């Protein structure tokens, strides 16, 4: 079967022109399924159909919605569609029904994106999370955190505008609010990480200096000889990405060009790609050659490793050692360090275990369950955390409250991007353009 769907003020009129009901003239009752026949604009019989009118606001878009359930295949639905169009309807753009549901306030942007996640779900687990997202699992948590921050902002703005007339927030109250907000956000990020690990897959990037064994590890984790491995530094230049599944988790595993100062023009292009993907990574695996001293060129990993779970692999344990756990302090934030020799394939097991733990660790023992979160939403959560961290630093440095309020406002606005309170038309267009037609 195929469904031709109409939405808008003329849905009922067009439906009534295209479909002649088998029994009963007169008004179309809302939410009642009728048997009928669909006709073309030139009054040719097209199909025997079922048709329903759903009067707004009790419909997907909150507008009047008409549906014609006709026989499937390539021709009949097209003819029914043509008949609707010749009577004044126009073709919907990708995701337009869901966009209308969002614009009418029936669902928020987070829920709208869950519709897409549901359609695109690659596993039963991902589908379950997306269905929960459609019920507002992510949106509700984000909205309640955003509300807390808005309340806080209102306090500060009142102090700013009315000075002594309103009671000041004490340092203790501010610290309390901040720690509550940070816990809530941490919970969200943990749930998001877990959700991405069980759904679409965590973007996991293998990085490090050239020749450390990144491609060897990538091949081992994938269980196939896919990336080129040579003793020649600078062999890997492009990003290679493959999904791997283990322990109920999915990782989108990326092998990248080694980072080092200098390098030829092609190698430098590869390193640029690597830096970009490190910026988007949701988990990092830093592979180091422990037979060499700390390499140059890894500066960006210091910040990145604080942002996302990071597993450090100290490879080449078979050779005389010149790099140990202590050398990592101050340079990387490590969630786990795994000394290994990847020439022995069985050693991949310990790396795999560390990756699994790092992927689940963030979520362990917390109240929040896994959440269906897409890349856009993930990035917004990470930015919200950055603003709260910057707020915390400002507090410690004793910055004036009107300066701190800037970070607070930014955190509120970034969270609003998830639920759709603060989105530009450009973002909306981007979100809905990835929908298929008719959704």
Candidate residues 235, 350, 390, 413; the one interacting with ligand GDP per rule CB under 6 A: 235
Single residue of 230, 302, 430, 434 touching ligand GDP by CB under 6 A: 230
Taking the complex as a whole, the smallest distance from the CB of residue 298 to Mg ion amounts, in Å, to 15
The verdict on 215 binding Mg ion (CB under 5 A) reads yes
Binding of residue 214 to ligand GDP (CB under 6 A): yes
Name the residue nearer to ligand GDP (CB basis): 91 or 343. 343
Q: What single DSSP character describes residue 121? A: -
216 binds Mg ion (CB under 5 A): no
Beta carbons within 8 Å of 171's beta carbon, 6+ residues apart: none
Residue 231 binds which entry of Mg ion, ligand GDP, none, CB below 5-8 Å type-dependent = ligand GDP
From the number of C-beta atoms within 10 Å of its C-beta (0-12, 13-18, 19+), residue 197 rates as buried
Which of positions 36-75 make contact with ligand GDP (CB under 6 A)? none
Q: Does 290 bind ligand GDP (CB under 6 A)?
A: no
Question: What is the pattern of x (binds Mg ion, CB under 5 A) and - over residues 231-270?
Answer: -----x----------------------------------
To which H or E segment does residue 20 belong? strand 19-21
Cα separation of the two ends of the chain? 16
* Closer by beta carbon to ligand GDP, 135 or else 272: 272
Contacts of 108 (CB under 8 A, 6+ apart): 102, 136, 139, 143, 419, 420
CA dihedral 122, 112, 437, 427 (to 10 degrees): -110
Q: Which residue is nearest to Mg ion (CB)?
A: 236
Find the helix or strand (DSSP H, E) in which 286 lies: strand 283-289
Give the number of residues written for the chain: 439
Q: How far apart are CA 42 and CA 82, in angstroms?
A: 11
If one asks whether residue 348 binds ligand GDP (CB under 6 A), the answer comes out as no
- Contact string (CB under 6 A) for ligand GDP, positions 323-342, x = contact: ------------------xx
Which one of 114, 216, 310, 374 is in contact with ligand GDP (CB under 6 A)?
Answer: 216
Q: Which residue has the tokens 């399924």?
A: 33
Q: What is the distance between the alpha carbons of residues 81 and 34, in angstroms, rounded to a whole number?
A: 18
- Minimum Å distance from CB 188 to ligand GDP? 34
* Residue 216 touches which member of ligand GDP, Mg ion, none, C-beta under 5-8 Å by kind: ligand GDP
Q: Which residues of 310-325 are buried (b: 16+ CB within 10 A; e: fewer)?
A: bbbbbbbbeeeeebee
Contact of 211 with 199, CB cutoff 8 Å = no
Among 210, 270, 309, 416, binds ligand GDP (CB under 6 A): 210
Part in contact with ligand GDP (CB under 6 A); list of ranges 17-25, 135-143, 315-323, 363-371: 315-323
Taking CB within 5 to 8 Å according to partner kind, which of ligand GDP, Mg ion, none is near residue 319? ligand GDP
For residue 3, the Cα-to-chain-centroid distance in whole angstroms is 30
The token pair that represents 337 in the structure block: 């360090």
Task: Decide: is 318 part of the binding site for ligand GDP (CB under 6 A).
Answer: yes
Among 7, 315, 372, 419, binds ligand GDP (CB under 6 A): 315
Binds ligand GDP by CB under 6 A, chosen from 319, 325, 403, 437 = 319
DSSP E strands, 176-297: 202-207, 240-246, 249-255, 283-289
| Closer CB to Mg ion, 139 or 315, in the complex | 315
Q: Residue 338 Cβ, how far from Mg ion at the closest point, in Å? A: 18
Task: Choose the contact partner of 4 out of ligand GDP, Mg ion, none; CB within 5 to 8 A by kind.
Answer: none
Q: Which is nearer to ligand GDP, 81 or 287 (CB)?
A: 287
Scanning 123-131, 206-214, 340-348, 383-391 for contacts with Mg ion by CB under 5 A, the matching segment is 206-214
Token duo for residue 371:
């959440």
Judged by beta carbon, residue 187 or residue 212, the one nearer ligand GDP is 212
24's tokens: 């009963």
The Cβ of residue 344 has, within 10 Å, a number of other Cβ atoms equal to 11
- In whole angstroms, the minimum distance from the beta carbon of 287 to ligand GDP comes to 6
Residue whose tokens read 């007339």: 165
Task: Point out which span in 56-64, 189-197, 223-231, 303-311 binds ligand GDP (CB under 6 A).
Answer: 223-231
Non-local (6+) Cβ contacts of 439 within 8 A are: 94, 95, 97, 98, 115, 116, 119
- Is 237 among the residues that bind ligand GDP (CB under 6 A)? no
The CA distance from 427 to 329, in Å, is: 40
List residues binding ligand GDP (CB under 6 A): 210-216, 229-231, 235-236, 258, 287, 315-316, 318-319, 341-343
Q: State the residues that interact with Mg ion by CB under 5 A.
A: 214-215, 236
């Amino acid at each position: 079967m195929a469904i031709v769907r109409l939405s808008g003020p003329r849905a009922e009129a067009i439906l009534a022109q295209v479909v002649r009901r088998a029994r009963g003239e007169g008004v179309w009752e809302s939410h009642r399924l009728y048997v009928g026949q669909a006709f073309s604009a030139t009054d040719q019989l097209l199909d025997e159909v079922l048709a329903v009118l759903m009067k707004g606001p009790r419909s997907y878009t909150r507008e009047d919605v008409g549906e014609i359930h006709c026989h499937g295949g390539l021709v009949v639905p097209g003819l029914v569609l043509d008949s609707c169009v010749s009577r004044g309807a126009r073709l919907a753009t990708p995701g337009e029904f869901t966009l209308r549901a969002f614009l009418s306030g029936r669902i928020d942007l987070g829920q709208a994106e869950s519709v897409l996640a549901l359609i695109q779900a690659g596993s039963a687990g991902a589908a379950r999370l997306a269905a929960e997202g459609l019920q507002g699992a992510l949106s509700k948590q984000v909205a309640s955190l955003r509300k807390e921050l808005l309340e806080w902002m209102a306090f500060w703005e009142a102090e700013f505008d009315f000075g002594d007339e309103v009671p000041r927030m004490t340092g203790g109250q501010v610290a309390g609010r901040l720690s509550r907000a940070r816990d809530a956000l941490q919970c969200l990020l943990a749930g998001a990480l877990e959700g991405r690990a069980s759904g679409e897959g965590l973007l996991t990037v293998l990085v490090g200096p050239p020749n450390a064994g990144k491609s060897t590890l990538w091949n081992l984790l994938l269980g196939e000889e896919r990336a080129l491995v040579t003793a020649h530094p600078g062999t890997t230049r492009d990003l290679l990405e493959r999904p791997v599944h283990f322990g109920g988790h999915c990782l989108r595993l990326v092998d990248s060009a080694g980072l080092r100062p200098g390098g030829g023009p092609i190698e430098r292009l590869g390193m640029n790609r690597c830096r970009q993907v490190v910026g988007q990574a949701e988990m990092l695996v830093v592979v180091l050659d422990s037979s060499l001293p700390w390499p140059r060129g890894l500066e960006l990993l210091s910040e990145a490793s604080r942002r996302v779970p990071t597993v450090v692999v100290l490879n080449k344990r078979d050779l005389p050692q010149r790099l140990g756990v202590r050398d990592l302090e101050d340079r990387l934030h490590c969630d786990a360090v795994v000394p290994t020799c990847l020439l022995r394939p069985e050693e991949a097991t310990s790396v795999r275990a560390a990756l699994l733990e790092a992927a689940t660790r963030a979520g362990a023992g917390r109240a929040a369950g896994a959440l269906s979160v897409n890349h856009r939403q993930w990035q917004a959560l990470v930015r919200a955390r950055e603003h709260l961290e910057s707020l915390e630093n400002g507090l410690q440095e004793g910055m004036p409250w009107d300066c701190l309020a800037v970070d607070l406002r930014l955190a509120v606005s970034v969270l609003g991007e998830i639920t759709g309170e603060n989105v530009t038309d450009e973002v909306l267009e981007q979100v809905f353009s990835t929908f298929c037609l008719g959704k």
